[in-house]
Chains A and B, each alone.
Chain A
Amino acid sequence: MAERNMTMREALNLALEQALARDERVFLLGEDIADASGGGILGVTNGLSTKYGEDRVIDTPISEAAITGAAIGAALDGRRPVAEIMMMDFIGIAMDQIVNHAAKMRYMTAGRTTSPITVRAAVVAGMGTGATHSQSLESWFMGVPGIKVVMPSSPADAKGLLTTAIFDDDPVLFLEPVKLLGARGMVPVEEHAIPFGQANTVRIGTDVTIVTYGWGVPMSQAAAAELEAEGISVEILDLRTLLPLDVPAMLEAVNRTRRAVVVTTSVRFGGPSAEIAATLTENLFDRLVAPVARVGAQFTPIPSAPVLEAAHFPDAERIADAVRRTVGVRAGVGG
């Protein structure tokens, strides 16, 4: 398949465009997404209303509950809505619609009605936007049976996973790490779909497995490059989706390396890493030679001041430190 170098922003835009072109049931709705109002605050929907019309790329009032509810209603009648929640922090307004309606519809009607919506939300972490414009709240949704939760780490994955999300028959929460929107990579030009629940080994290693997703992936790659110079061989597993969760891939990798570090940009306490680490420990207790380590954000609202914000989030150095502790090699001694 032909590939082209592009940013994650361009890859997401291309996935939306290809879905709009292929299937007349697909439409987008959200705040400021049409070109008349800027083509999306982060530019992801740029150009689409001009090409497909404002009936299919619908600007809405600032009404997250109604945006999400309208998506659910349209999906209930067989449409394929893609709703944009401008920033994930605003999803609290839409929580009832997502948790009580989209997620439960199939179950509560024994499959008579379904809610195949995609909710796209930007995670604007690490940019000084403060506590209500920066959060990674994915663990909230991991406790809600019926929804799927996706967070890509590369332009190609962003495109393939978004395509899968739009045509998936269940509600999907699709999280876009803003830190990576400008990151480049080779992306298949034709429409392509990456199945959910299929983790991706982005680096092969033998000493320790880092289990992560989204923005955690490039940070872990930076840490792994640093550790390689110290003689520590790191495998990195990008989960891609938290629901479904590719437990078999996690167990296969950690069974081999016998050590694991879980990296998330959401809070460590009560965050996704808790479930992942517990799953590894339950299944591999007798294989693990060190406790499963976890690196996540500190348990504070996200501060705006750059130095405090940087202290809140994990970084490559903290990930490397956790790996060193896990493999029992102190900084500056290994290699």
Chain B
Amino acid sequence: MAVTTPKRPVPAAEQQRRMYELMTLMKLTDDRLAKGIGSGEFLSVYWPHRGQEAVAAALGVVLRSTDQLVTTYRGLHDHIGKGVPVEAIIGELLGKETAPGMGKGGTSHLAYPEAGAMLSTGIVGAGLPIAVGLGLAVRQQGLDRVVAVSFGDGATNTGSFHEAMNMAAVLDVPVVFVCQNNLYGEKTPVERTMKVATVAERAAAYGMPGLRVDGNDPDAVFGSLAEAVERTRAGGGPVLVECVTFRFRGHSYGDSQSYMPRERLAAALERDPVPAYRRRLLDMGVCSESELLAVEATAADVVDQAVKKCTDAPEPSTERLLDHRYVDDHNMPA
């Protein structure tokens, strides 16, 4: 199985800095949502991404603004990486009229096509076939766009994964499949749900390259994703990239993680990608302490402002319940 090689693209200092900005924003958003829901300040449901920031930050930096993203219910970090405003995300979580879906979609169904965030799905594996179709549209229109689809390890056990991977390969569409392997599908560890050692090796079954990378190392993820995206953009066909990472807060917010061995979680927290990357940027001299503090203060301010604006925003009017079902409601039932 391929591992990170020196030939892979290396992020420039500006890209490293941007990845840390995004990771910080993702972490603080997750922290704030956990605090808000945990304290009863607001009522919502979400699937925490805390611990998986490195993958989403690298993806966000590697993709162009014109590239498209499909993600899942555990995809708020992917949205932030793709450039969806935090205010739009939190507004949708809180079900506010000002949110992109007016709260009709909710946490797991966010779409923000202005930033190329085309779809989030609440159904494990279901985004992959849709990404194949977005890729088909790219090919039909002769664009140089790449479509990235993000999903978990659990998705790779679904029929949708198999159908989509095979069809992507057969139709030769420009799709990069990004597996955020957080080692748990809901509450069951991957050792109990697949007999192969890696997700990446599944790519071979479709005649597709499969890369595997340390998903807690933003620079390594950047290298693998940049290689995959460049290859795909150049007409090399679809690629699967497995990023091995971890999920700190369980499946959904409030998950007690009773199934999680304490030492496993403790070891994962030791490798928390956000402080680790901070140390690396200091060590490498990419950023000074004061620059990093400024990045963190800015991110905290963005999250605070977003929460304030969203909590102050009006609820959607119940008169709009029937809106947006169809382009035209003529002879449609109520």
A residues with CB within 8 A of B: 27, 55, 58, 60-61, 63, 65-79, 81, 93, 96-97, 100-101, 104-114, 145-146, 148, 168-170, 196-197, 243-248
Contact = CB atoms under 8 A, between A and B. Distances in A.
B132 to A, nearest CB: 5
Contacts of B101: 108-110, 112
Contacts of A70: 129-130, 132-133, 136, 167, 171
A277 to B, nearest CB: 15
Contacts of A105: 111, 119
Most buried by B among A70, A75, A96, A114: A70
Contact of B130 (A55, A73, A245): A73
A104 to B, nearest CB: 8
Interface string B106-118: 1001011100001
B166 interface: yes
Interface stretch (B26-34, B157-165, B282-290, B294-302): B157-165
A74 B137 contact: yes
A123 B157 CA distance: 31
A332 to B, nearest CB: 40
A129 to B, nearest CB: 24
Given A77-B118, A79-B136, A104-B109, 14 more contacts: A27-B140, A55-B140, A69-B126, A70-B129, A70-B133, A70-B167, A100-B121, A100-B126, A101-B119, A109-B111, A111-B324, A168-B327, A196-B331, A246-B331
23 contacts: A27-B140, A61-B163, A63-B163, A66-B132, A67-B167, A69-B163, A70-B129, A72-B129, A72-B130, A74-B140, A76-B118, A76-B134, A77-B134, A79-B136, A101-B121, A106-B324, A108-B101, A109-B101, A110-B102, A145-B325, A146-B326, A245-B333, A247-B331
Contacts of A104: 109
Contact of A112 (B111, B133, B327): B111
A230 B59 CA distance: 74
B170 interface: yes
Contacts of A66: 129, 132, 160, 163-164, 166-167
Interface of B: 68, 70, 100-102, 104-106, 109, 111-113, 118-119, 121-123, 126, 128-138, 140-141, 147, 159-160, 163-164, 166-167, 170-171, 323-327, 330-333
B117 to A, nearest CB: 10
A113 B325 contact: no
Contacts of B133: 69-77, 81
B325 A69 contact: no
A73 B105 contact: no
Contacts of B134: 73-74, 76-77
A70 B135 CA distance: 8
A240 to B, nearest CB: 11
B156 to A, nearest CB: 15
A109 B109 contact: yes
B167 A73 contact: no
Nearest to A78: B137
A143 to B, nearest CB: 10
Contact of A108 (B109, B170, B171, B327): B109
Contact of A79 (B100, B137, B323): B137
Contacts of B325: 106-107, 145-146
Contacts of B136: 70, 73-74, 79
Contacts of A248: 331
A112 B100 contact: yes
Contacts of B106: 108
Contacts of B132: 66, 69-70, 73
For the complex of A and B, list the 8 residue pairs with the smallest distance between their C-beta atoms, beginning with the closest: A73-B133, A69-B129, A197-B331, A108-B105, A66-B163, A244-B331, A70-B133, A77-B137
Given A61-B166, A63-B163, A100-B123, A76 B333 contact: no
